[in-house]
């Protein structure tokens, strides 16, 4: 029992040591068209990469949502970033061809979102992998509000 406790404590401390690495802040997010009745709307969010270069971004999708037309990623200048995007029913994984350097804001555009058609605040959970660190680190939530009009 004591060994299990010490192992758990060591793992917790190891993961906590990555917190200063990231210093994530809440990403800006929005939808076009924000009406819940519109199928195929685009959801997007911005994320500022801080401290270390971002090599992968994992987006956990809310239940009942589906991306039908893919994901585009750009930097703050509008340049499309080269990345491999794989989408399954519950998550999207973006692996950048070249790690995104610190102090770069990325814009992630999820195109063709299919919803159940009722208004809601959808929450996408974001995780990242950074150069020099192995585990995925929670980055925050992208919140998308849809309306009933």
pLDDT of 116 reads 85
CATH number for 2-145 (one of 3.20.20.450, 2.60.40.1290, 3.20.20.80, 3.30.365.10): it is 2.60.40.1290
**For residue 61, what are its two tokens?**
């999708």
**Using alpha carbons only, what angle is made at residue 15 by residues 110 and 121, rounded to the nearest 5 degrees?**
30
Nearest to 118 by CA among 146, 85, 90, 88: 146
Res 81 pLDDT > 70: yes
Q: What is the pLDDT of residue 30?
A: 53
| Token representation of residue 67 | 């991306």
Write the pLDDT tens digit of every residue in 116-130.
888 888 899 999 999
- Of residues 31 and 73, more confidently modeled: 73
- Report the predicted TM-score, pTM, of the whole model to 2 decimal places: 0.77
Q: What's the pLDDT at 146?
A: 81
User: Mind listing the pLDDT tens digit for each residue in 33-42?
Assistant: 556 667 888 8
**Residue 77 phi, psi dihedral angles, 5° rounding:** -90, -5
Structure tokens at 44: 């997007």
Question: What mean pLDDT comes out for the span 19-46?
Answer: 61
pLDDT > 70 in the chain, percent: 74
């Amino acid at each position: 029992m004591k060994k299990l406790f010490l192992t758990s404590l060591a793992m917790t401390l190891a993961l906590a040591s990555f917190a200063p690495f990231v210093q994530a802040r809440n990403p800006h997010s929005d939808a076009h068209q924000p009406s819940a009745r519109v199928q195929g709307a685009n959801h997007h969010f911005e994320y500022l990469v801080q401290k270390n270069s971002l090599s992968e971004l994992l987006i956990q999708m809310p239940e009942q949502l589906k991306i039908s037309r893919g994901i585009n990623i750009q930097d703050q200048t509008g340049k499309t970033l080269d990345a491999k995007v794989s989408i399954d029913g519950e998550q999207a994984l973006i692996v950048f061809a070249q790690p995104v350097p610190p102090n770069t804001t990325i814009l992630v555009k999820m195109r063709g979102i299919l919803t159940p058609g009722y208004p809601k605040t959808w929450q996408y959970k974001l995780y990242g992998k950074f150069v020099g660190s192995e585990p995925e680190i929670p980055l925050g939530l992208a919140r998308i509000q849809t309306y009933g009009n």
